[in-house]
Amino acid sequence: MKRALLSAACLALAACGGVHHAVRSELPQPATIAVLPFAGSADVGTREATRSLLNSRLAARGYRTAELPWIDRVMSERGWLRDPAKFTTTKLPIDDVVTALGVDAIVVGDDFDESSFNVLVLRRHSFGGALALQTKRGAYWSATHSAGAYGGFALTSGQVFSELRAQGEHGTPMMTLALIDELVDDVVETVPARKNVAPVEPEPVVANVATKREAAPDGGTRLVVESTAPPGCTLWLDVLPTSRGIPMVALPNTNGRYRGTHDLPTNDTAASIVIRARTPFGRETRTEVKP
């Protein structure tokens, strides 16, 4: 019985494939991309760690990548991302997502799964999934891969002890992170690097700032600040010296007009106002105005 189990384990541990990928060279190479949340049975934290690492590695290959929190906010506002733990791409309208995010292509990740296999002192821990760089004309690049960590026969008492200890540790976050790193390194090497690095976008310009004070519902004073900035930016309002990070919202049908409100505490003089504008790709400016 033990011999049969060991034989089966050896076959399982011996199975290890490389990256299977495809590139459609007839499609234009994208310059700006957005990495969407990944779907699959793996823990949501594991999927997010993979997504974040892939995002940074793609930027290193010359692509301009949108910031992940901004992507999630846009998708949530449109009902495409309700629960990250249960996110699925099954009915995702690819063309609409590309348009809403204002990029050339989106990275879609599916079937991300983490599994382990243990028989006696043999082990295998793997993590894998499928990825595609989707444009409105189809997938420019796609890949499937599974990274794995393997154990073998223990030949001495010291090795037996080490192997048994490893069995109890193979599912720890450190091992998972190592597999994530391996998987991302392998698949990114198959993504065609950009010969001409995507140009840096201009800094967002905040203009036409207007401030006013009006009565607040509690009888106090409400500060209202409006400004223009490029559509798609995220704006925050700092009312110094007491309040920071107050969100400004885009006004509908204005193509770049934003408003922020703040109820001033009693005796707050609001010495200065700072508007921070950040683009989807991470360029940020600060504009200071007098209240």
**pLDDT, tens only, 24-54:** 999 999 999 999 999 999 989 889 999 999 9
Asked which of 43-57, 113-127, 230-244 is least confident by mean pLDDT, the reply is 113-127
Provide the H-helix boundaries in the chain. 2-14, 44-60, 68-77, 94-101, 157-169, 173-188
- What secondary structure letter does DSSP report for 62? T
The residue ranking higher by pLDDT, 215 or 75, is: 75
pLDDT at 170: 44
Asked which of 5-14, 28-37, 42-51, 82-91 is least confident by mean pLDDT, the reply is 5-14
- In the chain the domains, ranked by start, together with CATH numbers, are 2-188 (3.40.50.10610), 207-289 (2.60.40.10)
Model confidence, pTM: 0.77
Alpha-carbon distances of 241 from 56, 198, 208, rounded to whole Å: 35, 39, 23
The backbone torsions φ and ψ at residue 143, rounded to the nearest 5 degrees and listed phi first, read -160, 150
> DSSP for 91-155?
T--HHHHHHHHTSSEEEEEEEEEEEEEEETTEEEEEEEEEEEEEETTEEEEEEEEEEEEE-----
Write down the mean pLDDT value for the chain: 83
**pLDDT, tens only, 212-238:** 988 888 778 899 999 999 988 999 999
pLDDT at 123: 57
> What is the arithmetic mean of pLDDT over 50-75?
94
Residue 181 and residue 52 in contact, taking contact as beta carbons nearer than 8 Å: no
State both tokens at 136.
């409105």
Residue 265 and residue 222 in contact, taking contact as beta carbons nearer than 8 Å: no
